[in-house]
Each structure stands twice: as C-alpha cells, then as structure tokens.
Structure 1
Amino acid sequence: MILVTGGTGLIGAHLLLSLTETNDRVRAIFRTESSQNKTRNLFKLYNKSHLFEKIEWVEADINDIELLDIAFAKITHVYHCAALVSFDPRAELKLRKINIEGTANIVNFCLYHKVEKLCYVSSIAALGDAKTEGDLITESTEWNAEKLHSDYAITKHGAEIEVWRGEQEGLNVVIVNPSIVLGPGFWDSGSGEIFSNVEKGLKYYTLGMAAFIAVTDVVEQMIALMKSDISGKRFILSAENISYRDLINWIADTLKKPRPTIEAKKWMTNIAWRLDALKTTLFGGRRHLTKITAQSLHSKTLYSNKAITEATSVTFIPIKDYLKKFKKKES
C-alpha cells in the first residue's frame, strides 16, 4: 500500500488523482475536513469524483507519533509531500517543526516499518546557489551557507539532510526538487495566487526569471522515479526557465485580462516589502511580500533539468500550452 502525506495540497492532491487512476491502493493523511475537501473538489474539477472514494483517509499529523504509527500500518511506499510553505520570518519555528522534524519522523517510520522506498518532495529553494547570476543551477550546485536564504529554504534543506540520513541507514530514497508548480484547484495559496492576482487585474510586472513546471509533469516524474530502480539521487523538476513578465502576460491572455503595463522597479518592491512588514506588525495578518521574495522577483535564477530528462526521457509540456488546459480545468 502507498502512503501519501500532504495529499490536501497541490502536488499531493494531483498525485492521489493519478495513483487512483491506476488502481494503486492508496492511503492519505489529512488534518482537517476542510483541507480534505480541497482534494475532493479537485477530483470533482477533473470529473473524477468516483476515484476519490478509493482513497483510504487517515486523520494524522506528521508530528504526532501515535497517529503516524497507525497511518504506516502495512505501507510499502511513501510519497512525502507534506510541508509548510511560508516566507514570513515569523513562521521560522513552525517551519522547522513541520519541515525538518516532521520529515525526520517520516524517515524514522519508513525505517521502522521497512518501507521499500521513499519519494520526498523538496524544492528548488533547497538547492545550491549560483556563483553568478545567469549560471545554471544543477543538483550538484553547492549550498552557500553564508548567503541569505529564507527560513523556508533552510528548513527544506534541513529536511533533505534527514532524508539522506535515512538513506545512510538503509532506506531507498529519491528526492525531487520541483520548480514553481502551476496547476488548478488551489488559487488561494502558493503559486495559485499568481492567477488570483492576475484575475483581479494585476498592473505590475518584473523582469526577473524563474523555473516553472506543470503539476501533472511533477506527478508523472515522481511516479516514474518511484517505480524505477533509481535510489539515492535528487532531481530538479523544471519544464523551462521563464521571465515573470512572460508568465504573467500568458496568464492574463488565458484569463482574458489586460496585461500588466507597469514595470515594478527594485526600489518599488523594496518600499513594498517594508510597508508590508509594517502593516503586519501594526495590524497582524499574513505577510504577502518579504525582503527575500522581493529580491527574487528581480533575480534571474536558472535551473537545469538535464538530470531528470536523461533518467526518465521525459518530455515536459510547455508552460504556455499548459496554461490553456489550466484555464479549462479551473473553470
């Protein structure tokens, strides 16, 4: 039986959809009914509601040892997708608790229950740092501890260390480092907020670059790696490197909204993140823009997908083409 953590998030929900389509026996962890309903709604979005009933849901938490022990009964393979994604500096302790300690728990239970293989969903944020802007980042690019990293990146990097520790203790593991993942059903969080902002009439763009991938491609590669003999390796999952301006323009065209016309200069985003910090300090609420995220909007960070294409002979769907499908699914 397969266990999926994080099955109520973008990647995990699409993974469950794909696994149930192939008649795999699947168990998924959930924390609240409201989060579980997000996955139910995604299945409905794809007209696959009947497949949702095939999932064996277990109420558990990756930091609750007793409940995890129940969830791991008779499990042979684990996809660990659960994580906290936050760039708010106030979330540091929670990020460490969920991303590092939670992953350590999953690794320990995999070892204890003699799980055959673990696929861990990390992030490109956990990869090394390019020495100069424009250099391609690969799986072997060195992590620079002296460089400023977000707490999210640090905790995903720390989580990977826990997975490699599991490998040293005899666990078959594979790590995937997805780039910015695009997909339907989750417009209120993560990359989905890009679509929400464009839908509302986004006026600004930046000239930075980043790597993007369709969620369906992420899931396809995770399953392929899990079924392969590959172990003890990590893979960047990225379809292509795209400028934020191009991405936003394509989304605007897809949603039939006006393209943004004002370039947000560095000085503008520097003011914006400071005002956002002041606002949340005075009135509370969630941070929408931090110093690190503001900097990333202007940087040209490029990633190589050579390793995964050589390992699985994958052909990624171009992002511009995927956005057309994404609109259909979201509507």
Structure 2
Amino acid sequence: MNTDHLRALAAAVDEGTFDAASALLGISGSAFSQRIKALERDAGQVLLARTIPVTATPAGEKMLRLARQVIALEDDTRRALGRGTGGRTVLPVAVNADSLATWFVEVLRQAATWDDAVLQLHMEDQEHTHDLLRSGAVVAAITEHPTPVSGCTVTRLGTMDYYPAAATALLNQFRDGDGSPDFGHLPVIDFGTRDGLQRSRLSEHARTIGVPRLDPPRHLVPSSEAYLRAVEAGLGWGMLLTDQIPPSVTEGTHPDLELITALNPSRVTLHWQRWTSGTPALDRLTEAVHLAARHMR
C-alpha cells in the first residue's frame, strides 16, 4: 500500500476534516481526496465516514493501525539513514488519570531528556484505554485488560488499590436507623461517565442487602487532585487511591475523613500494551514505563 495514502488516512482522522488534513500534508484538497479514494479502492472498503469530524469505519480502524505503524517505521528509518526532516517520533499513549497523577510522572521525567520523540497522552479510564489501542489512535496503553489487542504485546505492571472514603460529616447526614450508611441516598462522586469503580462497589453492596439496585445522586469530577478535594469537602463518597489517602484516615484518627467499612476496597491490576513492531522510541518508552512502575505490587 502507498505510504502517502496511509499518511492521508491518519491525517484525516487526526485533523477531523479533509481540508485541515490536506493543509497539514501540503497538498490540494482534490489531491487529498484522490489519495483517500485510492486507498479505499485498494482496501475494497470504505475506510472513512465523511462526517465532521471525520471518523474511521470499522475497516478504517484496522487500516489506521497499520498506517500509524508504517508511518512510524518509515520516519524512524529515514532518520537513521540521515534522510529525516529533523522531526521527532510521535508517541500517542493512552494513560489512566490516576497513573498520570502518580507513578507515571517518572516517565515524563525520562521523556524530558529525549531529543528524538514527543509524547501525546490520551487520558482515559483504565477499563477503556485498550479501545484507543484497538482503534489505532495510540501506539501503547496502560490498561487493566491482560489480553493483548491484535498486533500488540502485553506485560503486567502491578496493582493500584482503592478504598471507599467519605467526609465524616457527610456520612452522619445519611445513615440508616442502625447507623450504617444509606447508600441509596448518600451522594457519590464519579471521575468520569465511564468510571466503574464506584458503580461496582454499589452493585456489590446491593446484592449483599438483597435489593435490585442503588441509585444515589452522582457528581462528576474529572480530575485526580480535584476528586480527592471533593471527597474531603463532603460532596460525596468515592474510591480513593491508596497514595491519596492520608495515613490518619486508615488509622481512624483523621478528624474529617473516614473509610467506609461497609464497602469493599478494589484492586486494579494494570498492564502495558504496545505494538509488537515498533520504533526505538517506543522501545525506550516501554523501558521507562517498566522502570517507573517497578515499585507497584
């Protein structure tokens, strides 16, 4: 397949419109359209939905992953031969927010010393980062899924432990007659619309007490640091990463915050998935990720 055609496919998805993609590649709009049509004829399928923004069809997602691999390998080879343009290898990576706020910072320190690569971080819940890898949007991902996406390898990184916690004042407002938390009305904080940590704990508790479901008010706070502050402020209860919880909370001596013993903690096992074939920059990133995760259990 023609590399120029593959570059056009990737540009269309990244830029969102044919006009922006053709401008990026420095060609006319008609020439760009011809490249996409030629690639679709070669594939025998429609690869792009002509929407705004442009999106890849299921067949296009498979071709997009190939396109990114071919582009990365070609660019790296040109640089190795001294024929590159002086640009850096682009490494789009999917990372969950809690990793990005904690141990992944060491990866950023390592990347700051590289002069041949740039990181493009896509933040997504660890339950869904592998979707970005499957679609070809990223070359690697931190994910909880141990089964590798086609064309990728997977290694275990370690675990992150979460504990349900809430402000004592909030809990005292929502207690049943026996003093236990009223989870049907006690507000909960989700990190994102696809955050399953709190939902899984509530579903488990609902089964324990024999009710179909619990449907409390739900707040949305999509920031790791702000999430902790929201729990401390009494906005709702939430699953807090071990590294976020002050020691006095686990010791039961914190004046304002406490663990919710009626709910079980959650252990999330993280994995590193990356393209099987890749560039030296991706290999170096993989080494940095494993080094940064070495203290995880």
- Fold agreement, TM-score > 0.5: no
Higher RCO structure (Cα 8 Å, ≥6 apart): 2
Structure 2 length normalisation: TM-score? 0.28
Higher helix share: 1
Higher strand share: 2
Structure 1 length normalisation: TM-score? 0.26
Quick check: which has more Rg, 1 or 2?
A: 2
